[in-house]
């Protein structure tokens, strides 16, 4: 007589939370300020304003836009503001940074919108390994978000976790 196989992980009552499920799939388009620099060194305000007015900004329609500069120069703050102002009527959202920084910001926003009631008094395992890279800031944000309401937070996989927090 054989004993039925039991899935102890499924019966444990653990709630598995995969942060990659919160990643926004909207395409990210980058606005590189480098193309507007004079000799790859200086941003001339008059020329920059004229170039922005002449640019076809419809390419940013319904896209998430990251404003950055691919060369190491000092960009005046007003330049970022001008770009954001010009792109805003088209873009879904605008951020400062390259694609990785923009994805991180989108993930942090998604974490901030999580309804913590779904995790109230639960034992939560925050998945640690995945196909997409998740930065440290997202793990800190999810810990800050869930700690006040959960019984416990663990990191890893349900079969092998590292305890992070346990309510006393």
How many CB atoms neighbour CB 134 within 10 A? 21
**What is the reported pLDDT for 1?**
57
Which has the closest alpha carbon to 139: 16, 23, 19, 15?
A: 19
Total-model pTM: 0.81
Task: Tally the C-alpha atoms within 13 A of residue 34's C-alpha that lie toward its C-beta.
Answer: 9
Local confidence pLDDT in tens for the 168 residues of the chain: 566 654 444 456 799 999 999 988 888 999 999 999 988 888 999 999 999 999 999 999 999 999 999 999 999 999 999 999 999 999 999 999 999 999 999 999 999 999 999 999 999 999 987 777 888 999 999 999 999 999 999 999 888 889 999 998
**What is the reported pLDDT for 7?**
46
Residue 153 and residue 161: Cα distance in Å, rounded?
10
**What is the reported pLDDT for 4?**
61
What token pair was written down for 72? 């190491």
Which has the closest alpha carbon to 143: 161, 124, 130, 121?
A: 124
Which has the closest alpha carbon to 110: 19, 17, 18?
A: 19
């Amino acid at each position: 007589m054989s004993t039925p196989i039991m899935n102890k992980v499924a019966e444990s009552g653990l709630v598995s939370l995969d942060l990659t499920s919160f990643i926004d799939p909207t395409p990210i388009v980058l606005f590189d300020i480098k193309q507007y620099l004079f000799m790859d060194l200086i941003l001339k305000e008059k020329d920059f304003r004229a170039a922005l007015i002449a640019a076809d900004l419809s390419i940013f329609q319904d896209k998430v836009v990251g404003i950055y500069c691919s060369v190491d120069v000092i960009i005046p703050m007003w330049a970022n503001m001008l770009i954001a102002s010009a792109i805003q009527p088209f873009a879904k959202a605008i951020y400062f940074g390259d694609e990785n920084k923009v994805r991180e910001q989108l993930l942090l926003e998604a974490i901030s919108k999580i309804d913590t009631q779904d995790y109230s008094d639960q034992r939560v395992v925050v998945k640690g390994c995945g196909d997409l890279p998740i930065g440290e800031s997202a793990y800190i944000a999810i810990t800050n978000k869930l700690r006040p309401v959960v019984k416990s937070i663990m990191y890893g996989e349900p079969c092998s976790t590292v305890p992070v927090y346990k309510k006393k």
